[in-house]
Structure 1
């Protein structure tokens, strides 16, 4: 881990991360004051929104939820890695919101340093800092700062990818296993590492067994939920019970989301338009990775896009795009003029998402 945090690109990455944190904190406080929405709420209270509440409840009460409230059938959809760490950090910090923010702050620092190193290794000098800024300017970047699982997942997944690139399969499998404990996305990472191992000329047969390790957290979690509910796929069933999401044909999911974006006028209209845009971006990225024959990255991104676009309706695809690190490496390699165009479009949308999230408006 020390090597990930060492060197000039990583100092630039850490500086960018801290500046992004500061900017979002100022937006959260200043936006609430200016808009007069949640003006009387404390700064920490503004960050306890949506999934951060779910993680807190799991960490505090377990998957049965708050015994003083109605049962929440959607809680098993959240993997245990983040709630377990949140519970541990809370023992030291003592405030649930601050504990979640501290996890994201620390994990995000590791993630941006790893992203900088990955971009520098695959592209020109300076690509690392540009890739980090591409990620931090992304419209849903607020979820890297909030007490959500995205930053923690990247803090494990990106080092796993770097280690795999060096042929250090045992260490890569260990990091990927930690990522798999945080989000179902770890399953797609695990499959991508298997593809990489098979295609690698440096692969050693004796290391192959270690690539089963990232699948272990999913198996363990499934067994745990089965012991509670009798359902081996409780984490998937919770998506239907909590949000009405289940597997459908991709054209059905597109049509439902399209109708919600253009034929219904409510507070979610613009959110669904963002979902559609992110889905198109995901498909385009998958096609580009296939064209470039980057099969491990194609597997990692493509499986995510396939899962997200075959749900009843599109939900949280922009937020999931934060995990598509091949996209941020690609933007890190882009010509500066194209990057400035991206920044000019993304930065205002990112600020808007901060204001939406911290004033309790749905932001994806």
Structure 2
């Protein structure tokens, strides 16, 4: 007797099998219906974040509660690191001979040149600097979510995998930094397509994109390490190994920047020393960094707002360690290496800084959460109920000029 569709047992999503790194068949990605759904979701969340920014202008004007007018339209986005990128784009790294030898120096050489160069280029078309920064992040964010969705579809055996992963990503607690004039969106617009190209076996494209990513954030170096490991695990024949020299290309970006800084300052490690002077990123053992951060979070030695942010740093570190364990258990070695190197870099300073914001760059986290939610539907509900308010809270904190990681 034939079995009808109604009698067939429902097929539930399964956990992804341990990763097997085999030779991929190159292909040209095209914009399909799922991609358009992802972009629609991206646009909707941009409307939400910009609505929040508009409300912040009226509720928290620069002149105080009694100010008769709201702040400028883009004022909520001009916070913290934005000013470093702006000054580099406007004046360069060492204007009028100023530098680390100058009193009150802002240590701007701690910021890599990729985003300021993009900002200066876009400013040639968009005269307002903050608008140029917002446009870069908007366009880059669209590229990033498309690449993230495609990577997720290769990992998860479910038609909703891409949309679910992007939903979790765009509503993550620190998602505001994808819209601000910061480096996260631009880095992901390069790093995620690089990873996607590697999945397809297109190593020249992966290497070029990774090189550009290395000019935007130091995390690009961790991406390169993961790409090299992925290549080693996937290569099977002499023909495969012919692409190996391409993986040397990403070293060009940090080498060129180090050469430039040495020419200006006489210090090959000027970038690292600027990080140490401005952000206490001198090396400390991991347990020392944890202890210092714990004291800042719970020792009642810091203002309550800062203490709360350090509590978030501790939580993000725990999440990162759990993610590495999960990736190792699943034998996703390249992804585990990428996250582990990120945690080592951020977890060996005097105290933790910017780990919550760095979670935006952990694409395996958003894929893992999406996979979990597809197996356990309540996970999606719980995530949205918790992450949505947290995302708004962090956005308001950042837009009002308070420290938000």
Q: TM above 0.5, one fold?
A: yes
Question: Partner residue of 1:341?
Answer: 382
Q: 1:93 aligns with which of 105, 126, 132?
A: 126
Unaligned runs of 5+ residues in structure 2 are 1-26, 64-68
Q: 1:244 aligns with which of 280, 298, 315?
A: 280
**Distance in 2 between the 1:166 and 1:323 partners?**
21
Unaligned runs of 5+ residues in structure 1 are none
Please state if 1:115 is matched with 2:133. Answer: no
**Distance in 1 between the 2:183 and 2:278 partners?**
18
Q: 1:190 aligns with which of 210, 224, 248?
A: 224
Q: Deviations over 1:297-349 (max 9, x none)?
A: 01111100111111111000010110011111112212232122112111101
SS in 2 for 1:139: coil
Conserved in 1, the CA contact under 8 Å of 2:61 and 2:71? no
- Indicate the structure with greater helix content: 1
Question: Partner residue of 1:362?
Answer: 403
Please state if 1:230 is matched with 2:266. Answer: yes
Conserved in 2, the CA contact under 8 Å of 1:297 and 1:326? yes
For normalisation by structure 2, the TM-score amounts to 0.86
Q: CA RMSD in A?
A: 1.8
**Distance in 2 between the 1:337 and 1:166 partners?**
33
Conserved in 2, the CA contact under 8 Å of 1:157 and 1:176? yes
SS in 2 for 1:92: coil
Conserved in 2, the CA contact under 8 Å of 1:63 and 1:76? yes
SS in 2 for 1:192: helix
Q: Which moved further from structure 2: 57-66 or 15-24?
A: 57-66
Q: 2:72 aligns with which of 15, 18, 42?
A: 42
Q: Which moved further from structure 2: 60-69 or 285-294?
A: 60-69
Question: Partner residue of 1:208?
Answer: 244
**Distance in 2 between the 1:137 and 1:351 partners?**
9
SS in 1 for 2:402: coil
Q: 1:147 aligns with which of 148, 170, 181?
A: 181
Instruction: Please state how far the C-alpha of 1:5 moved relative to its aligned partner.
Output: 6.2
SS in 1 for 2:125: helix
Question: Partner residue of 1:283?
Answer: 321
Matches within 5 A, 1:315-354: 315-335=353-373, 336-354=377-395
Instruction: Please state how far the C-alpha of 1:189 moved relative to its aligned partner.
Output: 0.5
Question: Partner residue of 1:55?
Answer: 85
**Distance in 1 between the 2:372 and 2:37 partners?**
18
Q: Which moved further from structure 2: 328-337 or 210-219?
A: 328-337
Q: Deviations over 1:157-182 (max 9, x none)?
A: 00111111111111111111111111
For normalisation by structure 1, the TM-score amounts to 0.95
- Choose 1 or 2 for highest CA Rg: 2
Instruction: Please state how far the C-alpha of 1:31 moved relative to its aligned partner.
Output: 3.1
